[in-house]
């Protein structure tokens, strides 16, 4: 009887240890999750989305709050600043040094942080939702 109790206790302990190891991954900090290159694959008014077939470029979020946008046609880079908290903000600096924050997005990562949904906040737009995918 005693070996049965020890054996059962060992199995329960093993199941508890394995069960705690199967939890979902911790949520990533959005400031880290957004780093990298992103290309728009869908746009529209959620849930009515259209596939983007001819992409004109990509956005690259760098760790130093620099947003680098690349234009495939011209081969040029454009630079902005960004920051992320409960919203994603993009900021452009005019030639006179004035910084303009536009646009602001609600964001949602999905597909294991490889896709990003952006919804414009406080803006009347013809297209108010973008879906981006992480690229190499």
Chain segment 87-110, per-residue pLDDT in tens: 999 998 888 988 888 778 999 999
Cβ(70)–Cβ(60) below 8 Å:
yes
**d(C-alpha 100, C-alpha 90), whole Å:** 8
pLDDT of residue 43: 95
The CA–CA distances, whole Å, from 13 to 10, 20, 22, 26, 107 equal 5, 11, 15, 23, 40
Work out the average pLDDT over 14-33. 64
pLDDT at 118: 95
Map residue 38 onto helix, strand or coil: strand
Domains of the chain by residue range: 27-135
**For range 71-91, the mean pLDDT:** 94
- Segment 29-68, tens digit of pLDDT: 999 999 999 999 999 998 899 999 999 999 999 999 999 9
Overall pTM > 0.85 = no
Architecture of domain 27-135: Beta Barrel (2.40)
Residue 25: C-alpha distances to residues 13, 20, 28, 56 (Å): 22, 11, 8, 34
């Amino acid at each position: 009887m005693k070996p049965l109790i020890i054996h059962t206790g060992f199995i329960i302990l093993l199941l508890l240890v394995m069960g705690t190891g199967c939890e979902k991954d911790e949520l990533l900090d959005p400031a880290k999750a957004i780093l990298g290159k992103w290309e728009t694959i869908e746009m529209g008014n959620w849930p009515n989305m259209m596939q983007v077939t001819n992409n004109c470029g990509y956005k690259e979020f760098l760790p130093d709050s620099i947003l680098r946008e690349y234009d495939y046609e011209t081969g040029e880079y454009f630079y902005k600043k960004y920051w992320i908290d409960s919203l994603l903000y993009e900021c452009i600096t005019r030639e006179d040094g004035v910084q303009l924050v536009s646009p602001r997005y609600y964001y949602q990562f999905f597909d294991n942080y490889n896709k990003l949904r952006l919804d414009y906040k406080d803006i009347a737009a013809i297209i108010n939702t973008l879906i981006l995918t992480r690229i190499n």
